[in-house]
Amino acid sequence: MNEDIAAFVAPLTLMLGGGLLALGALSFIGIDYFGTKFKARVAFAIGLAFIVATELVFVTGSSSGRYFSGLKTDVTDCELDGETRLPEERHKNSRVLHDYIVGCMERLGYDWNAEHEHCKEARIATNSFCYLPKRAVARAIVRFQTAFE
pLDDT at 6: 66
pLDDT at 60: 60
pLDDT at 64: 44
pLDDT at 148: 73
pTM for this predicted structure = 0.60
38-76 core/surface letters (b: 16 or more CB in 10 A; e: else)? eebeebbeebbebbeebeebeebbeeeebbbbebbebbe
pLDDT at 127: 92
pLDDT at 61: 58
10-residue mean pLDDT series, the chain (149 residues)? 65 89 87 85 93 78 64 92 90 87 94 90 91 89 81
